[in-house]
């Protein structure tokens, strides 16, 4: 699942690897409780998990858009490589006309900023309405432990830096050939973007689902979708979304990509749950 350029419908889709996120294995959770959680940690087989941090550039005759923007320089030197990947693809920040956020978390949105200025000076920022409502709600912020308030701070900066260029969207069509799909649980308004295929001779005949953080661990969670991470705001909803999305991907034959899986894959049924194979 390592190819970085694919063609879906009218879009050339470029995977931009921004960095690698690391966390202790103890961030794993399991819907079936502590014994199952310990089993998941044992199955991980290492004290730290490492997952890619990805975003995507979609180029068409109408211009260039992004899905997510990485962490930029906000999280230190291990991140921000999406910017050099854009440069290598011949894309400059001022050419980006639209950025679709899957959700308002730092590793997906902090790349929008150059300090307290916009890194993408001409871009409109499209945000799922339910996520924006949650992360700008003072009551929700107060109800969230201080250590987990990063999304609220990102939303505050987003409004301050981009102002009227922030646009909220409902589920459904976003652009020609792109639909917003609700995938709640990781955050209340967590959203995937379905890119329709087949409109061009050189395009894939399948659709692409860019599913954000529907899952983080491509070797563990497809086989046991009840495994989650502490970063899921609603863990039970995240499990239901993960199970439904994996099943839907199998039935529809979608190609899948995301914020934390490697490259482009296809979901298949396995002896236990599902598996993601290279596509």
Query: Token digits for 121?
Result: 């000076």
- Report the residue count for the chain: 279
- Gyration radius (Cα) of the chain, Å: 18
This prediction's pTM: 0.96
Question: CB–CB of 119/110 below 8 Å?
Answer: no
| Signed CA dihedral, 155, 53, 70, 66: sign only | negative
CA neighbor of 8 nearest in space, from 43, 59, 44: 59
H/E stretch holding 44: helix 34-44
pLDDT given for residue 201 in this prediction: 61
Q: How far apart are CA 58 and CA 203, in angstroms?
A: 13
pLDDT given for residue 4 in this prediction: 87
Contacts of 210 (CB under 8 A, 6+ apart): 56, 67, 102, 192, 193, 194, 195, 256, 257, 258
Question: CB–CB of 185/206 below 8 Å?
Answer: no
Question: CB–CB of 6/254 below 8 Å?
Answer: no
Spans in the chain with pLDDT lower than 70? 1-3, 199-204
Q: How far apart are CA 215 and CA 7, in angstroms?
A: 23
Q: How far apart are CA 55 and CA 128, in angstroms?
A: 16
Contacts of 26 (CB under 8 A, 6+ apart): 41
pLDDT given for residue 2 in this prediction: 43
pLDDT given for residue 205 in this prediction: 75
pLDDT given for residue 178 in this prediction: 98
Q: How far apart are CA 208 and CA 200, in angstroms?
A: 14
What are the phi and psi torsion angles at 235 (to 5°)?
A: -60, -40
Q: How far apart are CA 100 and CA 191, in angstroms?
A: 10
């Amino acid at each position: 699942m390592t190819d970085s350029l694919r063609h879906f419908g009218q879009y050339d889709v470029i995977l931009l690897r921004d960095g690698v996120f690391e966390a202790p294995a103890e961030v794993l959770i399991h819907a079936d409780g502590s014994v199952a959680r310990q089993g998941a940690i044992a199955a991980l087989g290492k004290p730290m998990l490492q997952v890619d941090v990805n975003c995507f550039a979609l180029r068409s005759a109408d211009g260039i858009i992004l899905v997510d923007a990485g962490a930029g320089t906000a999280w230190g030197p291990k991140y921000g490589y999406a910017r050099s990947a854009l440069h290598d693809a011949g894309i400059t920040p001022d050419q980006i006309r639209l950025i679709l956020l899957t959700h308002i978390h730092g590793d997906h949105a902090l790349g929008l900023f150059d300090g307290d200025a916009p890194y993408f000076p001409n871009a409109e920022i499209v945000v799922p309405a339910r996520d924006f409502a949650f992360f700008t709600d003072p009551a929700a912020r107060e109800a969230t432990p201080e250590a987990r308030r990063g999304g609220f701070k990102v939303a505050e900066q987003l409004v301050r830096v981009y102002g009227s260029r922030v646009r909220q969207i409902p589920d459904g069509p976003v652009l020609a050939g792109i639909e917003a799909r609700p995938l709640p649980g990781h955050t209340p308004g967590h959203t995937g973007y379905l890119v329709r295929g087949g409109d061009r001779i050189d395009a894939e005949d399948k659709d692409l689902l860019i599913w954000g953080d529907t899952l983080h661990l491509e070797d563990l969670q497809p086989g046991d979708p009840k495994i989650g991470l502490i970063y899921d705001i609603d863990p039970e909803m995240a499990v239901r979304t993960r199970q439904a999305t994996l099943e839907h991907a199998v039935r529809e034959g979608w190609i899948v990509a995301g914020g934390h899986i490697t490259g482009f894959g296809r979901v298949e049924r396995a002896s236990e749950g599902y598996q993601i194979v290279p596509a």
